[in-house]
Structure 1
Amino acid sequence: MKVTTLVENLTYKSGLLAEHGLSFYIETANRKILFDTGQSDVFVRNALAMGIDLTEVDAVVISHGHYDHAGGLNTFLRLNQKAKVYLKRAALFDKYSGTSRYVGAAADACLASGRLVFVDDLQELDQGLFIIPQTPIVNPADTHFKGFLVKKETLFEEDTFVDELFLVADSVDGISIISSCSHRGITNMVEAAISAFKKKIKAVVGGFHLLGCTPEQLEATICYFEQLAPKSLGICHCTGIDRYGAFVQRLGSVVFYNSTGTTFEL
């Protein structure tokens, strides 16, 4: 299984663009899958620059309903006429940062007609690649809800990101997790994956939402991964560069920064 990061906050490769957002292109033996779309058409332009044809994508998975992960969805739906879109119903809710800043990313009803697949239970996208739609909060300290709200009619409620989902790649030597923003906590996601598959963790890739976290949250997360001892840890997006540095200091070469244009295998 080959994974290419189409867009992330940073890029170090000539000819590629970066933006605050995340999008992964995944190739399995049988299917081509897009996990998130960033916030604009940058993922499309980067795919073109890297020789990736997004019209051939078979399925799109939306991790949650924020603009920096689903803002490019309508652009994709115009480009690709066949792919189904896998997401949770709550990803379509009106989402805010505070009560004034809208941070949602609604799908165009005409473009999305007949193409949305709502995921409520564990679902296999392809042999060995699964969508995990439920993340029980076993570690309440590792959640990132502060300041995020959902508007229902005229009332605002705390957004606990019930719409968040992630991917698990299952192989003989363990499971690999691809997260996108980890609002419900990367340690909680790992625990959900272990509970579902009863296997050791091989790799964890994605945004850990540690930017702006407390020193105690950072220390607890690093300690968790020290004990977990994955073979690979690909940090990016909402984790924060300084937090990435803290992981490197403690875990060394196991950690890499997953910037725009990075390609790896799981």
Structure 2
Amino acid sequence: MKLKVVVDNNTYIDQYYYGEPAVCYYIEDDDAKILLDVGYSDLFIKNSVAFGIDLSRVNIIAISHGHNDHTGGLAYYFSNKIKKDVTVIAHPNAFDEKSLGEMKISSPIGKDSLAQNCNLKLSAKPVRISKNITFLGQIPQLNDFENRSPIGTTSLNSKTYDDYVMDDSALVYQGKDGLHIITGCSHSGICNIIEYAKQVCNDDKVISIIGGFHLFQQSERLDETIAYLKKNRIKELYPCHCTSFSVRAEIHKFIPIKEVGVGLELHW
């Protein structure tokens, strides 16, 4: 399997690509060509061209959750008519309206419009999307230190609710050596995601994790997270996007972390 970081907050020194506070990963698993998220703008298209990635060959776009730093690129994908028969997979609530105060933070394209432009597959349950990769669906709470907190509000059937981002999901690649987890923001808790991936794949060995951990400051939750990661002896950590420098520095005291930037390529 190959993974390429197409969009991230960070870029590497002396590598002349563009970054934005968003996420897009290009993944190849046998014949499957997958995007996890599509960033905030059309940047994922520009960087894909620079990398020589042919987006018209992408079979699946998996959406980690419905915030616009992960779904904003959908408007540019379909307005450029890159591919009509692509499958978009996400949680059933991923394309509901989401707001933070007066600011709209949801996908620029809703379910009805998407269904007219692609093969839309919505699932709260795990779905195998390639030979070795599973979309995890809705992540249950499996520990007592990663309680969900609302981020703005969501609207459904003309009613508004606190948004606990129940649509937050992730991908897991099951290799011969163990599990490799790919996250968007981990609103459901990075350790909850890991534990659920282990259950879904019936495999307790987690080799690596790349993606946002949604941790911003030192706290008891961070201490518990580090203890969990150490207990699971996870060899390779690539925290990025919504993981602050101070959090990464704290984790690095106990578990060496890897640098992430646009252009990073991993092979598992």
TM-score range relative to shorter protein = over 0.9
Between 9-18 and 202-211, report the one with greater CA deviation.
Answer: 9-18
**Residue deviations 1:82-141, cap 9 Å, x none?**
3111112201111122x3221101326546415211123221111111111021112243
8 Å contact from structure 2 (residues 22, 70) kept in 1: yes
Aligned residue in 2 for 1:185: 189
Aligned residue identity for 1:260 = V
Alignment of 1:116-265 (within 5 A): 116-199=120-203, 200-211=205-216, 213-252=217-256, 255-265=257-267
8 Å contact from structure 1 (residues 74, 111) kept in 2: no
Structure 1: give runs of 5+ residues left out of the alignment: none
- Once the two structures are TM-superposed, the CA of residue 221 in structure 1 deviates from its matched residue by 1.0
Q: Out of 84, 88, 93, which is 1:90 matched to? A: 93
**Residue deviations 1:233-257, cap 9 Å, x none?**
11100011221111112112xx212
Aligned residue identity for 1:8 = D
Alpha-carbon distance in structure 1 between the residues aligned to 2:141 and 2:224? 15
Tell me the number of residue pairs that the alignment of Structure 1 and Structure 2 aligns: 262
- Percent same amino acid among aligned pairs? 30
* TM-score, with length taken from structure 1: 0.92
Structure 2: give runs of 5+ residues left out of the alignment: none
8 Å contact from structure 1 (residues 143, 183) kept in 2: no
Alignment of 1:19-98 (within 5 A): 19-77=20-78, 78-97=81-100
Aligned residue in 2 for 1:11: 11
Alpha-carbon distance in structure 2 between the residues aligned to 1:63 and 1:147? 15
Alpha-carbon distance in structure 1 between the residues aligned to 2:149 and 2:254? 27
Partner SS, residue 90 of structure 1: coil
* TM-score, with length taken from structure 2: 0.92
Shift >6 Å, 4+ stretches = none
Q: How much is the aligned-residue C-alpha RMSD, in angstroms?
A: 1.7
